[in-house]
Amino acid sequence: MPAAQKLADNGLIYTQWHTCALCAPTRSTCLTGRNHHVNGFAEIAEGANGFPGYHARIPAQCATIAHILQDAGWSTFWIGKNHNVPEQDNAPGGYKDTWPLQKGFDRFYGFLGGETNQWYPDLVEDNHFIDQPYMPEEGYHLSKDLADQAIRMIRDNKASNPSKPWYMWYCPGANHAPHHCPQDYIDKDKGKFDGGYDAYREWVLKRMIEKGVFPEDTQMTPFNPMPEDQANPLDVVLPWDSLSDDQKKLFSRMAEVWAGASEYADAQIERIIDYLEESGQLENTLVLYAADNGTSGEGSPNGSVNENKFFNGFPDDLAENMTMLDKLGGPDCYNHMPTGWAAAFSTPFKMFKRYSQYSGGTCDPMIISWPKGMKARGEVRHQYHHSVDVAATILDVCGLEMPDTYRGVKQYPMNGVSMAYSFDADPDGPTQRKHQYYEMMGTRGIWEDGWHAAATHAPLTGVGHFDQDRWELYHVAEDRSESTDLADKYPEKLEHLKQLWMDEAKKNLVLPLNDWPAVQVANIERPSTEPPRERYTYYPDTTPVPEGVAANVRGRSYKILADVEVGDNCSGVIFAHGSRFGGHSLFVHDKKLYYVYNFLGIPPQQELVSSEELKPGKYTLGMEFIREKAGQYGESHGKAKLYINDKVVAEGPMRTQTGKFTLCGDGLCVGRDSADAVASEYTPETQGKFTGGTIQYVEVSVEKEQYRDLEREMAAAMAVD
C-alpha cells in the first residue's frame, strides 16, 4: 500500500476513527457533517424507506461542505463512487437535484450507484451517462481511469486558475466488491494467505501492536460472536480447520485477489500523490485517507464468484466456484471473499461491515497528512472520532463555518467536531468527542467517554423484537477490542448508555429500527415520478436505462416484443438488460433469433434459439416468460417461448431471478448490450451492436402483480409478535 504508507509516514494514523458501518451512510456524513439518519441515509440508497431517517435524499437542510467551499472560492471535484443519489433518480431523465453538480461540485466523474464492474463500469461524467473511454484489452481498469481523471481535473485547475484552491472527494470503486484486479497485482500476494484466516489474525494483531495501533494487552475476540438465536447464517465464519482442501485453495485465492485489488487502487492514488508532489501542491494539501466501513462480509461463508447471488438470496456452489479459481479478479467473475476474511481483516474486533454495534463494523483506518499544517510525521493518534467529524475538520482548517441558513433554507446543525486540535496533540490526549450513537439495519451501539454499549442484534435477519435485545457493555478505553462484556458488573452504566442511545435516536431521526432481509428491503415500494406500468416502450440509440427505473420483470410473467426490419446479414442485440452475472438478451446470431436468460451467471446460460433462420423482411420478434412457481430461494420457475411473428419457434423451461441483475450499471438497452455482455455469443467489446436491419422499438409487458416471496415476508412480519 505505497500511497497509504507514504501518507502515514508524512502524517498521522488515527486508531479510533469510526464510521456508520456501511458505505453510503458514512459517505453522507463526510459530505454534510451531519449524522447519517439526519441525512436520510440510515442505510444504502437501495434500502430507502418512507421514514425521516431512511429516505436516501440528502435534504436541503444539510448543505454539503462542497457547497460551502465552492461558495468560498474552491474548485470542487468528485471522483468515483457516489451512492448518495436515490435509486429512482439514478437515470438519464431522473431528477438531478441530488447529483454531484447540484450538491456543490463543479465536476463529477464516476458512478452513481453503490458499486460497479471495475472492467466495464457504469460511468457518469458531470450530469450525463457516458461509455467507458477504452476497453480492458487496451488496459482499462476503473481504478486507473479514476486516477487519470483526478489528475486531469487538478491539472486543468492549475493551468487556468493556479491561485485557486481545490477540494476533491475521491472515492475509488475498490476495494468494494466486485474484487476486480489486474493479474500482476493478484500474483504479488500469491501464497500469503494460505495459512488461513485464524493464523492471519494472530499475525496481524501482533504486527499492529508492534506499530502502536493497539495496546500490548489487546485481546483477540472470537469469530462468530453472535448468539445462535440472533446470528445471520449468511454472516457465519466457517472454521478454517473444517474446510476442505478445495475450500482453502479457493478462499486463499479470494484473499489474494482482494489484497491485489486494494493495492492496485492504492497504487493509483499514489500517482495522484506523486503528481501533487511534483507540481508543488502536496505540501499544502490536507489529505484524508480512510475506509467507509469495516471489511465487507457480503461474500457469505463460502465466498462468491458472483456477489449478486447474495443480493438475490441465492447460495454459492463450491464446485461451480472452483471452476473459476484462475479467473477470480478478471472480467469473468464478480467475486467476493468469504466472511472469514472479512472478520480477519477486521482484527481484532468482532464482526464486520453492517454490524454497527461492534468496532469490526465501525472502527476503520484513517490517515491524515498535511505537511504544512502539522508538525507530526509518522505518529499515531488515539483520540476517538467518527466520519461525521470529517466535514467539521475541513471547514475548520479552511477557516469556514456551516451557515445557519443556506440558500434560504434553515440548516440542521452539524453533528461533527473538528479533529484539527489533534494534529499536534499528545497521541493519548483527550478527545473532544463526547458521545456517538450507532445504528445500521437494526444493529445498535453507543460510545461515551471510553465506554461502549452494544445490542446483540444482527442485520438483515428479520428477527425483530428489538425491545428484547440483550445489550453488552465494554470499557473500550482499556479494552479496545471489545472482548470483555461488563454488562453484569456495571448495570447502571449500561442503563445510562441505553437511555442515551434512545435520546440520540430521537434527536437524529433514527427510528424505526429495520432488520428486514435484503430481498424484502429491495422490494419496498418507493415513489417514482414514473408510476409503475404494465407496458414499457424502448427505442434504439438511447442511453442505457438503469435498473431502478427500467421494466421490472422480477418475480412475474413478462413479454418482450420488437418491431424489426431484418436485412441481409442482420445480427446483433435487439434488447438486453444486465450482464453475464445476471441478465437477459434478445438477439440475432447466425441468422437465428436467440433469447438468453443468464441466471446469476450460473452455467449453462439458459437459451432459446429459433428453429428457423430469419430471412430479410419485417417481423415482430419476441419472447414470453410464463411464471409458474417459486423455487427454493424465491426464484421464479416457468416456461419461456420464443416468437417470430405469432409463431412459437422455440420453447423450454426457464428460471428467473427474484432480485436485481446488478446493483449499479448494465442498464436496459435496445440495439446493443452496453458494458458487460449478457450472452456468450457476443463480446463486450462490440457490445453486440445491431447491424443489417432496423429496430423500430421494443415493448416490454409485465404482469401487473409481482409475485413476491410471501412466505419470507410473512415470516418477517410475524416476528412482531
- Decide whether 89 or 106 has the Cβ nearer to another protein: 89
Residue 512 binds another protein, judged by CB under 8 A: yes
CB of 461 to another protein, least distance (A): 13
Which among 328, 329, 359 has a CA at the least distance from the CA of 343?
Answer: 359
Secondary structure in 3-state letters for 100-125:
HHHCCCCEEEEECCCCCCCCCCCEEE
Residue 158 binds another protein, judged by CB under 8 A: no
Which among 340, 331, 271, 273 has a CA at the least distance from the CA of 305?
Answer: 331
CB of 415 to another protein, least distance (A): 10
- Among positions 217, 283, 449, 503, the unique one binding another protein when judged by CB under 8 A: 503
Residue 527 binds another protein, judged by CB under 8 A: yes
Reduced to 3 states, what is the DSSP secondary structure of residue 290? strand
- Among positions 216, 241, 467, 492, the unique one binding another protein when judged by CB under 8 A: 467
Residue 434 binds another protein, judged by CB under 8 A: no
- Scan residues 528-567 and list those touching another protein (CB under 8 A): 528-529
Residues 6 or more apart whose CB falls under 8 angstroms from that of 526 comprise: 48, 49, 50, 86, 87, 88
- Among positions 138, 163, 705, 720, the unique one binding another protein when judged by CB under 8 A: 720
CB of 442 to another protein, least distance (A): 8
Give the number of other CB atoms < 10 A from CB of residue 242. 7
Residue 487 binds another protein, judged by CB under 8 A: no
Burial of 648 (0-12, 13-18, 19+ CB in 10 A): middle
Secondary structure in 3-state letters for 62-115:
CCCHHHHHHHCCCEEEEEEECCCCCHHHCCCCCCCCCCHHHCCCCEEEEECCCC
| Residues pairing with 448 in the sheet | 435, 451
CB of 62 to another protein, least distance (A): 9
Residue 311 binds another protein, judged by CB under 8 A: no
Angstrom distance (rounded) from CA 298 to CA 275: 35
Angstrom distance (rounded) from CA 419 to CA 710: 48
Residues 6 or more apart whose CB falls under 8 angstroms from that of 699 comprise: 535, 536, 537, 538, 559, 560, 561, 562
- Decide whether 5 or 102 has the Cβ nearer to another protein: 102
Which among 188, 350, 324 has a CA at the least distance from the CA of 256?
Answer: 188
Residue 707 binds another protein, judged by CB under 8 A: no
Contact predicate 286/371, CB 8 Å: no
CB of 268 to another protein, least distance (A): 35
User: Within 13 Å and on the Cβ side, how many CA atoms surround 227?
Assistant: 10
- Among positions 52, 315, 330, 365, the unique one binding another protein when judged by CB under 8 A: 52
Tell the residue number behind the cell numbers 464478480, with chain if given.
334
Residues 6 or more apart whose CB falls under 8 angstroms from that of 482 comprise: 221, 349, 350, 358, 359, 452, 454, 472, 474, 476
Residue 32 binds another protein, judged by CB under 8 A: no
Contact predicate 678/584, CB 8 Å: yes
Residue 169 binds another protein, judged by CB under 8 A: no
Residue 101 binds another protein, judged by CB under 8 A: no
- Among positions 514, 523, 571, 687, the unique one binding another protein when judged by CB under 8 A: 514
- Decide whether 208 or 719 has the Cβ nearer to another protein: 719
CB of 441 to another protein, least distance (A): 11
User: Within 13 Å and on the Cβ side, how many CA atoms surround 638?
Assistant: 22
- Among positions 38, 420, 425, 550, the unique one binding another protein when judged by CB under 8 A: 38
Strands 123-125 and 107-111, sheet pairing: antiparallel
- Among positions 51, 140, 490, 707, the unique one binding another protein when judged by CB under 8 A: 51
Angstrom distance (rounded) from CA 138 to CA 132: 12
| Residues pairing with 697 in the sheet | 563
- Among positions 86, 104, 684, 688, the unique one binding another protein when judged by CB under 8 A: 86
Residues 6 or more apart whose CB falls under 8 angstroms from that of 409 comprise: 60, 61, 63
- Decide whether 52 or 365 has the Cβ nearer to another protein: 52
CB of 32 to another protein, least distance (A): 12
Strands (E), 417-475: 435-440, 443-448, 451-455, 471-474
- Scan residues 195-214 and list those touching another protein (CB under 8 A): none
Angstrom distance (rounded) from CA 679 to CA 687: 10
Residue 139 binds another protein, judged by CB under 8 A: no
Residue 587 binds another protein, judged by CB under 8 A: no
- Decide whether 69 or 91 has the Cβ nearer to another protein: 91
Residue 388 binds another protein, judged by CB under 8 A: no
52-60, 109-117, 151-159, 174-182 -> range binding another protein (CB under 8 A):
52-60
- Among positions 11, 25, 33, 40, the unique one binding another protein when judged by CB under 8 A: 40
Residue 708 binds another protein, judged by CB under 8 A: no
CB of 21 to another protein, least distance (A): 18
CB of 58 to another protein, least distance (A): 11
Residue 466 binds another protein, judged by CB under 8 A: yes
Residue 88 binds another protein, judged by CB under 8 A: yes
CB of 91 to another protein, least distance (A): 11
- Compute how many residues bind another protein; rule: CB under 8 A: 40
| Residues pairing with 109 in the sheet | 79, 125
Write each residue from 397 to 426 as x if it is in contact with another protein (CB under 8 A), else as -, in one continuous string: -------------x-xx-------------
- Among positions 18, 55, 81, 350, the unique one binding another protein when judged by CB under 8 A: 55
Contact predicate 334/601, CB 8 Å: yes
- Among positions 248, 435, 498, 526, the unique one binding another protein when judged by CB under 8 A: 526
Residue 43 binds another protein, judged by CB under 8 A: no
First-to-last C-alpha distance (Å) of the chain: 50
CB of 49 to another protein, least distance (A): 6
CB of 369 to another protein, least distance (A): 34
53-61, 224-232, 359-367, 694-702 -> range binding another protein (CB under 8 A):
53-61
Angstrom distance (rounded) from CA 714 to CA 708: 11
Residue 57 binds another protein, judged by CB under 8 A: yes
Residue 97 binds another protein, judged by CB under 8 A: yes
- Among positions 32, 218, 508, 656, the unique one binding another protein when judged by CB under 8 A: 508
Residue 50 binds another protein, judged by CB under 8 A: yes
- Decide whether 505 or 550 has the Cβ nearer to another protein: 505
Contact predicate 179/336, CB 8 Å: yes
Q: Which residues bind another protein (CB under 8 A)?
A: 38, 40, 49-52, 55, 57, 61, 86, 88-89, 94-95, 97, 410, 412-413, 464-467, 503, 506-509, 511-514, 516, 526-529, 716-717, 719-720
